[in-house]
Structure 1
């Protein structure tokens, strides 16, 4: 199979779909890889490293899309990239379709076979291809929030960890999944006062066993959530319904009653965000203010630490990339239920139920497409 790696074109996105080591894994199995010129140059992966690994270099994205049987990316294809997809071509990348009707329509029209990292499941449960970027984003959320609490960034002028004689800031984390757990780790390390909310009491119990009285755990209901948010200096939203739009847990009215100069970091923004006041931002212009509250809603947070993120992502994605190249998409999906869960759009049909429900498409199961 000929596998293509275009350069990412989303705002301030420097990650790359395959590292030279991943290219080597494919080439060693008899596949061919074509990488767009300078696709990884911004993170120290130059063309010579790719050619040494066995790839050939293409001058343009148009050449990559025109030649490749499978496109491996990081972020969802932009409009210009969707237009270059062709029927039957495999697209293997993050998609986040539920809050994005324009991209979904473009992928349906393309006829491509679109496999989303974020809905591929794992034998032990969870979402193993989403997890590494959730780990990065969770850790970054505290870093970004602490920075924007500084007065020069528009915040209230608060040091999260405080100093002797001055109270630490209060961090509230909504959701105790991968994002929330990694945010919690960083927030505790900073010396902040931390509250984490989740509906899974067993998960809260696990965190309590690890962190003890260094954190407060709350069962997430409307009353507890509102009380926590209104007392917070920094709120991190890390809720996830796999493949579906994120629930709007924090209302505009609640934001209006928060402390002026406080910060919200909506890590769920890829799936539409869990704050009613959120909308996607970029690394070039990461924040906006609603009712005196700073909103950080960058939709590709891990892109800011693109080298770390690229290697972490490739660790998780290369196995399925090799399988798709070895077997072709039909056999690969037929043989692996977990990979089959990643099929979101296939040859003009929406094959992930939560996306179909969110956007009003007829749902066609992956099984029926394969069958």
Structure 2
């Protein structure tokens, strides 16, 4: 199979879908790999490194989309990219379709078969291709929040960990999954006063044991949510419903009860955000203010640390990517966890959460793949 990797064009996105090490693996499996020139520049991987790994370098993304049987990316295709996709082609990348009707329409119109990293599953019920970026984003959320809390950035002017004789900042984490866990780890490490809210009692027990009393855990009710958000200096939105739009846990009305200069970091923004006032921002203009509350809603947070995040992403995606390259559509038929990643196939939506969120008819992927 001919596998192609274009340079990412989303604002301040420096990651790359295939590292030179990943290219070597595809080549070792007998596949031809085509890389757009400077695709790896953001992680310090020059064209010569890709050539040494066995890839062919081409001068434009257009050649990738024209020639590749499978396109491997990091972020969702932008309008100029989905316009170049075609029927029979595999697209393997993050998609986050539920809050993005335009992209969904574009992918349906192209006829492409699109596999979303964020809905591929594993034997334990986890999301193995989303997890590494959730780890990065959770940790970055605390760095971003700590910066936004500085007075010069519009925040309250609070040091996250405080100093002897001065109380630390209060951090509230909404969601105890991978993002929430890693955000709490970072915040605790900096000395903050941390509370995690979740609706899974087994998960709250796990977190309580893991942190050995260094964080507060609380079952998430409306009352609990309001109390914690109103008293927080920094609120991390770390809620995920796989494939679906994030629930709006914090309403516009609730902002009036928050401290002036407090900070919201909405890590769920890729799925539409879990704050009613959230809207996607970029690394070049990451924050905005609503009712005195600073919002940080960058939709590709891990892109800020591409060397770390591209390596972590490729470690996770390579195994499934090789299955797709080796077996094509048969890999989706044979591996139910990989099949769970199928979101769009030849003009039809195959992920039920996406279909429900956007008003499409959902099609069972097994049926469509069998007919193909």
Superposition TM-score tier, normalisation by shorter sequence: over 0.9
Distance 1:240 1:256 in 2: 25
1:349-364 mapped onto 2 (5 Å cutoff):
349-364=348-363
Distance 1:33 1:210 in 2: 43
Distance 1:126 1:213 in 2: 26
Distance 2:81 2:215 in 1: 45
State the Cα distance separating 1:256 from its structure 2 match. 2.0
Partner-residue secondary structure (3-state), 2:212: helix
1:140-151 mapped onto 2 (5 Å cutoff):
140-151=140-151
* Partner in structure 2 of residue 19 of structure 1: 19
State the Cα distance separating 1:209 from its structure 2 match. 1.2
* Partner in structure 1 of residue 199 of structure 2: 199
State the Cα distance separating 1:124 from its structure 2 match. 1.8
Under a length normalisation based on structure 2, what TM-score does the superposition of the two structures give?
A: 0.99
Under a length normalisation based on structure 1, what TM-score does the superposition of the two structures give?
A: 0.99
* Partner in structure 1 of residue 310 of structure 2: 310
Distance 1:24 1:358 in 2: 39
1:146-185 mapped onto 2 (5 Å cutoff):
146-185=146-185
* Partner in structure 2 of residue 295 of structure 1: 295
* Partner in structure 2 of residue 119 of structure 1: 119
Deviates more, 1:212-221 or 1:130-139: 212-221
Partner-residue secondary structure (3-state), 1:217: strand
Distance 1:12 1:163 in 2: 35
State the Cα distance separating 1:116 from its structure 2 match. 0.1
Distance 1:4 1:95 in 2: 17
State the Cα distance separating 1:213 from its structure 2 match. 2.6
* Partner in structure 2 of residue 221 of structure 1: 221
Structure 1: 4+ residue segments shifted above 2 A? none
State the Cα distance separating 1:257 from its structure 2 match. 1.5
Deviates more, 1:331-340 or 1:208-217: 208-217
State the Cα distance separating 1:125 from its structure 2 match. 1.6
State the Cα distance separating 1:370 from its structure 2 match. 1.2
Distance 2:213 2:7 in 1: 46
Distance 2:207 2:123 in 1: 23
Mark the runs of 5 or more structure 2 residues left unpaired by the alignment.
none
Distance 1:257 1:293 in 2: 10
* Partner in structure 2 of residue 272 of structure 1: 272
Distance 2:302 2:157 in 1: 25
Distance 1:152 1:265 in 2: 17
Give the aligned length.
370
Distance 1:339 1:101 in 2: 23
RMSD: 0.6
Mark the runs of 5 or more structure 1 residues left unpaired by the alignment.
none
Distance 1:255 1:21 in 2: 46
